[in-house]
Structure formats: structure tokens, C-alpha cells
Amino acid sequence: MFDPHEAAIRQTRRTFLGQGMAGLGTAALASLMNASTAHANEAPGLFPNFAPKAKRVIVLCQAGGPSHLETFDEKPELKRLNDQPMPESFTKGQPIAQLQGRALKCYAPRFDFNHYGESGQSIVSLFPKMGEIADDLCIINSMVTEQINHDPAHTFMNTGTSISGRPSMGSWVQYGLGSEADDLPGFVVLTSVGKGGQAQPIAARQWHSGFLPSRYQGVEFRSTGDPVLYVQNPPGITTGRQRDVVDAVNQMNALRQPMLDDPEIATRIAQYELAFKMQTSVPSLMDVSGEPQHILDMYGTKGADGTFAANCLLARRLAERGVRFVQLYHRGWDHHGGIERGMQICASEVDQASAALVTDLKNRGMLDETLVVWGGEFGRTPMAQGSGRDHHIKGFSIWMAGGGIKGGIKYGKTDELGYNAVEDIVHVHDFHATLLHLLGINHEKLTVRHQGRDFRLTDVHGRVVKEILA
């Protein structure tokens, strides 16, 4: 028999539970939205460990492996031994990529070096603009890595391991510190393709978050068309209607979140909100029409056209907007043959803009808080591979500037032929430890429990290279 009193009680229970869950969901949504507004990508709250020197990082990755022997590591003895057999004492039992089993001959540096700045930094003559900022650069000539082919070497440089699927350094940084940007991702990737050599592919896993929540992975901005797919509203959809959709989707996700406590649901809510904000911020970012002509001329670009020069300008604009980690890939440095012509082309594509970025940041008072890194995944052999050089992991060069780095110095050495790093060796793990240190993070404490083990960017290795710190 129907009991109106019992039906009312049941209705009251359903209403109470439904409204209660909706209330919890709304509260969760409000909490997430407020956190998003106050701090676009909230960090775990454990970092920094101490006062940071740098607030942000810009990595200018010269993908393909630029030759240290034609950039920053001058070797007169290699020039003297040109076309003579490479001494076996250097190469016996050593890892070689494509020259294995071939007659190995010394191959002289293709270009002269000049001395620049008050510090007298030795830099190849192809890089006159970088020479102008020599006193801001710390050139490391003793880098070593563990992977001799491109993709695993990029993976190792980005993640500290050759095992695919681990978090990239940009993701670790964003996870540890969060982002200062409210309307842009905290980790942005820009790519360009040069004409000076083979352009090896770059996989998106190089900026992936691995086992960290997906909100920390890098976001690639495309060089042509819309920088982010679907950043524009479809025809007939106004900003107000889009706002309604985002709010409705986020409310439904927030209803589920208290029951599951799934970080990916929290990510989805935050990313929907971020995507909505990016519909305004990204077009504004890419519109460089307000940049003075002398700035465009300094970088050597006419606008956001996908070139390395344009991407360097965008990197500065991203840094101004609070993006924590910006990574530029310029593909085209793989010079197994034709290295002389290839280096000339590559230098013309990157020298001016690389120097302009450092100069522009310095002029704006941002360089002291921005760490800029320039380099590739490995170097090239002192031995000839026809008219080029093979991959080389035993000693190569990068430079760092700003963000707590001592300028106008060279650190570390390779031997007289540029084969082995022999003094003040800097492993990739040391590079990562130093980068995190400059951001105020103890690399041994930035860990995440995964599959029963505490993982970190530097694995179980890494030392802070204190000698290069300002």
C-alpha cells in the first residue's frame, strides 16, 4: 500500500544525498578553480628547499648533436693531425655509432676560433653574436652522456634515463614548483626545422609527464596555423556559450572527484579551465605586432613564423607571462656528411637569435632569474665520416647563462683531440642536479613513489656543479 509519509521520507533522503553530493562537488570544483586561479599548476608544496637563484628555465635544444669541435672546443692539435690515423689509444674499446670497423682518421676543425669579450672566451667564428655575449656565458666543454643514438640520447638528456616513459625534466620542474602562469601551461615546447643537416624526428614523449599526473606534461605549440588545436571557438559559438560548456563539464567532473579522488579528474577539471583561458591568452601571445621593430631586428624575425628566431622571441614572451619551463627544439644538426656547409647554415639560423634572447632578457632585468641552456644531445667525433662526423658521447659542449650561473668562464676540458672529457667532467645527471639546485630544489628530495620505488630525475646519481654557480 502506498504510504505518502514514507514516500516523503524517501524523497527527502534522495534529495538530501543528491544535494549533498552536488554540494560536495561544487565545493571541490570551487576549490580546484580557486587553486587554478591563484596558482595555475599547484606544486606538491615541498619545494623549493632553499632560496632559488632562478625562477624559470629556457632550454635551446640543438637537436641532432652539434659538433663541439666546430662550436666551443678549440683543438689546434686535431688541426695539426688532420687526415692522419686517429691514435688507437683514444678509440680502442670505445663506443662508436657508425664508424665501427672503419679506418679512423683525424678530421681537423672546419673553422677558426676567435676570442670574445673581456673573458676572452674561445668561440668559433661562425658565432659572432654569441661572441658578443661571451661574458654572460658559462661554456661547459666536458659534458658526457650514455646514449649514442639520437632518440635514446634525447630521452636520457630529458629524463635522466634511456627508458621511455619517465617524466621529463620540464615535468619534474613544474611538479616541484608549479607555474606562475594563470592562463598558459607551465611547460611549453616549441619546435623548428633547420636546413643545415638531417632533421631527426623528435617524439612527444620527450616532454611527457611519465608517471607524474598528466597536468605536468609539456604542451607543444605548433609553428603553423593555430599554435594549439581548437584554440579558436567554432563558428556560432560565443565566449559566453563556451564558458557555460566548460562550467557544466567541470561540475560533472567535480561530482565524481570526491568519490574517486583520482588525480586525473582533478587534472581534467584544471585543464578544461586552462584551455578556456588559453583561447584568449594564446592568440595574444602569438601576436607580436606590438613588439618594437628593433626587437624584431635583434632576433632576426618578422613574427611568429615557426623559425628558431621567432621561437626565441616567443620564449621570452612566455617567460614574461610566468611559464616555468620553455623548451625549444631546432632540428637539423645531424652532420654525418657536409659538416662544413651544414654548420654555416645552422649557425646562420641560431647564432643571432640565441644571443638576442640572452641580451633581451638581460635588458629587461629578467636574466638573473632565468636560466638559459644551449646544447644538443651529444657531440661529434674527432674522426672523419667522409665530409662529416659521427655521434660522440665521451665529451661535448653546452653553455648556460643567467639564473645564478657564473658568466665569462669555461668549465671542464676534453683531451687534445676532443675525444674524452678529462677534467671537471659533467655528466647529464650532474647537469640535472645543478639545474634543480638553481631553482631551489635539492635533487635528492624531489622524489615520487612509483611501483614500489622512489624515483627522481637524477636517479641515484648527480652532483651540483658548484664551481659554475655565481
The CATH number of domain 49-232+288-456 is 3.40.50.300: no
Q: What single-letter amino acid sits at 358?
A: V
The whole-number pLDDT of residue 369 equals 98
What is the DSSP pairing of strand 113-116 with strand 121-124? Answer: antiparallel
Distance CA 161, CA 147 (A): 9
- pLDDT per position as a tens digit, 239-254: 666 666 666 766 776 7
Domain boundaries, the chain: 1-38, 49-232+288-456
The CA–CA distances, whole Å, from 409 to 48, 66, 68, 133, 399 equal 28, 20, 16, 12, 10
The whole-number pLDDT of residue 25 equals 40
> 38-53: buried (b, 16+ CB within 10 Å) or exposed (e) per residue?
eebbebeeebbbeebb
Q: 450 forms bridges with which residues in the sheet?
A: 453
Model confidence, pTM: 0.85
The whole-number pLDDT of residue 301 equals 96
Could you report the average pLDDT of every consecutive run of 10 residues in the chain (470 residues)?
47 45 40 39 67 98 98 98 95 87 95 98 98 98 97 98 96 95 95 94 96 94 69 65 65 69 66 68 90 98 93 97 98 98 98 98 98 98 97 98 98 98 98 98 96 96 98
The whole-number pLDDT of residue 281 equals 84
The whole-number pLDDT of residue 74 equals 98
The whole-number pLDDT of residue 9 equals 44
